[in-house]
Amino acid sequence: MEAEITSEQIAAAGSGLMPCQVGVWCDNCGVTAEHDYLVREDSTPTERFEAARRHLRANEGWSCGPDGDFCPTCQGKVTVDDMIRECHGRFGETEHAPGLISAKRAALRLKLIADEVAELAVAVEVGDLVAIADALGDIEYALRGTAFAYGIPLDEVTDEIHKSNMTKDFTNAADEDAKLVKGPGYEPPHLAPILDAALRRFEDGDGLDEQ
């Protein structure tokens, strides 16, 4: 059985073939590739699904194998945010819309980050590289968990801040103590639109569960 997304073939009536919509879901990030495939009329759902997987593998950069189906964007790579989702999921907490959190929870999140930063300071002080790595990893985890609590899409925020940083003045950047300065071409990061967009995505049902 062949699976192709060619409308001419779909139009070829009487061939014993028919167009059929098949969706393949990325087992890592949940993205779905849905296309019309030309399938044999007597094909089983499994055969149709396999045809779709073959097509995605051959033409769209998907990795479809015994371990699952993975889209070309995430390629099955687990990000820190995936880990955070998994970790918070253990407590039954799902993603939520961007918004402020309770004072109690905010204080806890702050303390988590501050504790890890204090551990980093100790590790730097004693010159223990393993402990420095440990503390940095813990800071990242605490930081991402805090962004999760606030419903802040941190990757998008970081992208925007990077763009802004690249508009700073790099003239003295080689100097170790030099902080990049906001020269005449400086463009500040525009974060409010990112949060607005995240909120809209959430309201449109991309978010998993309202809390």
Given a contact cutoff of 8 angstroms between Cβ atoms, the answer to whether 40 and 90 are in contact is no
Q: How far is the CB of 23 from Zn ion (least distance, A)?
A: 14
Nearer Cβ to Zn ion, position 12 or 78? 78
**Angle, to 10 degrees, between the axis of helix 129-150 and the axis of helix 103-126?**
170
Reduced to 3 states, what is the DSSP secondary structure of residue 40?
A: strand
Among 3, 20, 24, 26, binds Zn ion (CB under 5 A): 26
The DSSP 8-state label assigned to residue 66 in this structure reads T
For the chain, helix (H) and strand (E) counts, in that order, are: 7, 4
**Nearest CB to Zn ion, comparing residues 20 and 33:** 33
Q: How far is the CB of 77 from Zn ion (least distance, A)?
A: 8
Answer yes or no: are the C-beta atoms of 69 and 45 closer than 8 Å: no
Say whether residue 28 binds Zn ion (CB under 5 A).
Answer: yes
Neighbours of 58 (CB within 10 A): 11
The residue among 40, 35, 76 whose CA lies nearest residue 52 is 35
Smallest distance from the beta carbon of 66 to Zn ion, in angstroms?
17
Q: Which is nearer to Zn ion, 28 or 43 (CB)?
A: 28
Going residue by residue from 46 to 75, which x/- string records binding to Zn ion, judged by CB under 5 A? -------------------------x--x-
Identified binder of Zn ion from the candidate list 29, 80, 101, 199, rule CB under 5 A: 29
Q: Which residues are near Zn ion by CB under 5 A? A: 26, 28-29, 31, 71, 74
